[in-house]
Amino acid sequence: MAKLLLGDKHKVHSPGLLRLLWVLEAWLVGLLGTISRLLPPDTASRLAARLARRIGPRMDKTRIIRRNLTVAFPEASPEELDQLVKGIWGTLGSIVAEYPHLPTICGTQADQRLEIVMRDKLPVFELGGKPAVFVTAHLGNWEIGAGTIAHLGVPVTVVYTALHNPHMDRLLRNAREALGYRMVERASAARELVRRLKAGTSVGLLVDQRVDSGEPVPFFGADMLTSVTPAQLALRFNCDLIPVQVQRLEGARFRVIFHRAVKADDTTLETSAQIMQMTIKINALFESWIRERPQEWTCTKRRWAKHLTKPDWRGTED
């Protein structure tokens, strides 16, 4: 949260002071969570969005958001970019306020709050069906995707990135575990995902961000270092690679779309070529989702190489 609000320029070099800031940060977020929990989900989501739209654009992270939007939408005017930035901050505010309500949204009130769309017959949702590899992007409220999978009765393990603040990390893990799925930290995910798929458990990954160890794959007309792990796992275990799209509806209500499984165009090619074909398709699909609802794209981290930045750009890098 602190990094999100302040950016990378404000670094704390004293370990003692850093630990104190971590405690204060967790206390503040816990307080906000308590307030949000006392409100109905729709009210909490709307109020947080309104507040974030006012405060967020003043934060340092706005520079990175605007930078990403400039690369993705080079034709957008400064005024249009301003509106998108406000919309993205509003989406982020809603997401934060919705964490205490995730068990309600994806559980006790799922019939009223989730519109589930199946674009194809997917074996993973059938009794005794094979596990699948689910992929999604930072759109709408991506936590709802995994929560919906668990709500539908599919065992799933989700990859996540641990926060530097251990107190905040624990708060986030508790909120996610309340949805009924397991998590594995990204740094040690490779072997664990293989083990889970072998055991018949599906896996879920967020893969619309830059990955330094990834492969250059087109995204909005420019190469982005992209994880090829989803395609690798799907081919290795002969299971479906299913894109999951989360669209925000009115208030704390969502449409969750399970798209047709992504497959290679030519299955006679070498595995590496098939992996690249599938990853290109995933990025193209994500791009189409973002173009449809750009204000719901939480792009607070740099997506592309620095050389794509405009010459006169002045912003932090993450």
Query: Facing residues of 243 across strands?
Result: 135
Q: Note the pLDDT of residue 245.
A: 98
Q: Which of the four pLDDT bands, split at 50, 70 and 90, describes residue 272?
A: very high
Distance, in Å, from the CA atom of 126 to the CA atom of 129, rounded to the nearest integer, reads 5
315, pLDDT greater than 70: no
Q: Note the pLDDT of residue 162.
A: 82
pLDDT digits (tens, 9 = 90+) for 111-139: 999 999 999 999 999 988 899 999 999 99
pLDDT digits (tens, 9 = 90+) for 202-250: 999 999 999 999 999 999 999 999 999 999 999 999 999 999 999 999 9
What number of residues does the chain have? Answer: 318
209: nearest Cα among 105, 150, 131, 282: 282
User: What mean pLDDT comes out for the span 24-37?
Assistant: 86
Both tokens of 259, joined, read 């798209």
For 82-134, the three-class secondary structure string (H helix, E strand, C coil) is: HHHHHHHHHHHHHHHHHHHHHHHHHHHCHHHHEEEEECCCCHHHCCCCCCCEE
Q: Which of the four pLDDT bands, split at 50, 70 and 90, describes residue 318?
A: very low
pLDDT digits (tens, 9 = 90+) for 49-96: 999 999 999 998 999 999 999 999 999 999 999 999 999 999 999 999
Distance, in Å, from the CA atom of 254 to the CA atom of 179, rounded to the nearest integer, reads 16
